[in-house]
Amino acid sequence: GDVHFIATEFVDGETLRRRLDGSQLVFAEVVEIGMQIGSALAAAHDAGIVHRDVKPENVMLRPDGYVKVLDFGLAKLTGSGFAGADTDGLTRTVMETHPGVVLGTFAYMSPEQALGQHIDGKSDLFSFGAVFYEMLTGSRAFQADSALATLMAVLRDSPRPIRSLNPSIPASIEAVVNRCLEKDVAKRYQHASEIVRDLRKAAKASSNTIGLPRQGLTQ
């Protein structure tokens, strides 16, 4: 009738952040979660949506193993995937920010996002790399004593090599993360589906019982 309401999906489970603080992750799960996040980002980017806030708090793990990427509150429409829609108008009035305005979470945002520059799906891939790095090492790729220092680390620093923190992580997995975290957009993965492809190849060649150096994680 004349009753206005909003319907939202209920996702049962727990956030990746809560799981990282718990004691249930193993290496095989980390790779599987990574592939599912990559697949979700591929679908979003193909639909013309850049998430702009990929982080463990915005990833939900269902009890059946299905992974959901949530909270598109900072998302940006890029135009593709919205045939017939006034995407420029939608972006200006609903989701876009002015040049130089920084939205997102500093520890996970790409350098171009941190600078308030134009971004596309490859920015989310940098954020994915930061999330995957944390899943593998138990440490954030970029973290400092203040928000500003963290932002500067994103812009100028390289994270500690994954295999220096855990030599048992396969070099092929480390290579995927390193490519995601390239500060030069041209050297980064160009589409999330490429990440899923490389993770699948690396997983087939790796042991599922690799230890993860984080208190609470199991082998």
Lookup result for tokens 């603080």: 21
Is the distance from CB of 172 to CB of 200 less than 8 angstroms?
A: no
83 Cα distance to chain centroid:
27
What is the rounded CA–CA span in Å between residue 111 and residue 31?
A: 25
Q: Which residues pair with 50 in a beta bridge?
A: 76
Lookup result for tokens 């900072």: 74
Is the distance from CB of 168 to CB of 211 less than 8 angstroms?
A: yes
For the purposes of burial, counting CB atoms within 10 Å of the CB of 191, is it exposed (0-12), middle (13-18) or buried (19 or more)?
Answer: middle
DSSP 135-153: HHHSS-SS--SSHHHHHHH
Is the distance from CB of 40 to CB of 69 less than 8 angstroms?
A: yes
What is the rounded CA–CA span in Å between residue 56 and residue 132?
A: 9
- Which member of 12, 46, 53, 64 is catalytic? 53
What is the rounded CA–CA span in Å between residue 82 and residue 45?
A: 11
Copy the structure tokens of residue 103.
């939205």
53 is annotated as an active-site residue? yes
What are the catalytic residues?
53
